[in-house]
Amino acid sequence: MKRSVTAGNGVEIPQIGFGIYKIKQGAGEDFDKTILAAIQAGYRHFDTARIYGNEAALGSAIDRSKIPREQFFLTSKAWTTELGYTRTRKAFEQSCRKLGTNVLDMYLIHFAGPGYVEAWKAIEELYEEGRIRVIGVANFEIEHLERLMQQAQIPPMLNQIETHPEFQQSPLRAYMERHHILHEAWAPLGQGSRTLLENKELTAIAAAHDCTTAQIILAWHLHRGTIVIPKSSHPVRMRENIQSVNIVLTPGELERIAQLDTKTRYSANPTGFQIHPLFVQTMKWFVR
């Protein structure tokens, strides 16, 4: 796989990454097998976060692959309880230590929680120090981006948001394009929704290309210039997902998929995102 997207500072980001949210945590055999299978399938872009609890296991698996670190593109994120200048710098250092690296290819603010403007100042500073190659955010709506850019010295280079054919994020995407913010999709397959994967239009397009519906959805993302981080623990699906770079959709097929937008989210709306206090305390222990 060679397809990549160029950030505003010239850094190349592999357009298909591998998401490891909810993949079995810890450094056990199952996690190692999944990561090594993904590496063997051709993935070099891996997306994790402090809150996932698997940074150390990912770093260990990459080290055991014997592939040089510079061939990988690693992303992590500062969780909501780690926002603020000092907390974010500390969280970044902890992520680096667990991943076994001194430089992160991309670092994001996970949600626009209290203190995200101060957290961004820390991230800008780390970027200027050469510790982060691409800086960005995740789950930010237009209002969050507006407030951040009013006070930022360096605008966010990327926004990672829920995106799939049933939730195409058109207004936010248009705003991001105007401000040169790259679009990265989490849940690019709608979190495996049967409604989406069994959609008649998508299955018909898949039949015409002799491929899976998931491959058609990923090809649609790629045609739009979106970075995707699909997740799978199955080696066959890993290979199928990465092979979607070879699928060329016609303008007519792209238009048919464009008509599938029902504004359906499969996760919480970030604008009203609230964290229960007990969950906050649990996560402070979990990610320390």
pLDDT at residue number 28: 57
The model's pTM: 0.93
HEC profile of 135-178? EEEECCCHHHHHHHHHHCCCCCCEEEEECECCECCHHHHHHHHH
pLDDT at residue 271, rounded to an integer: 78
According to DSSP, the residues that pair with 186 across neighbouring strands are 162
Residues 6+ apart with CB under 8 A from 210: none
Query: Do 244 and 16 touch, CB atoms closer than 8 A?
Result: yes
Q: What's residue 272's pLDDT?
A: 62
Q: Give exposure, 158-167, as e/b (b: 16+ Cβ within 10 Å).
A: bbbbbbbbbb
Q: Which residues of 189-228 are buried (b: 16+ CB within 10 A; e: fewer)?
A: bbeeeeebbebeebeebbeebebbbbbbbbbbbbebebbb
pLDDT of residue 2: 66
Annotated ligand binding at 110? The verdict is yes
Residues assigned a catalytic role? 52
Within the chain, which residues score under 70 in pLDDT? 1-2, 24-29, 272-288
Reading the block at residue 117, the tokens are 């403007």
Sorted by where each begins, the domain ranges of the chain are: 4-286
Q: What pLDDT does residue 29 have?
A: 64
Q: Return the CATH superfamily for domain 4-286.
A: NADP-dependent oxidoreductase domain (3.20.20.100)
How wide is the angle at C-alpha 164 spanned by C-alphas 162 and 168, nearest 5°? 85
Beta-strand relationship, 158-162 and 45-47: unpaired
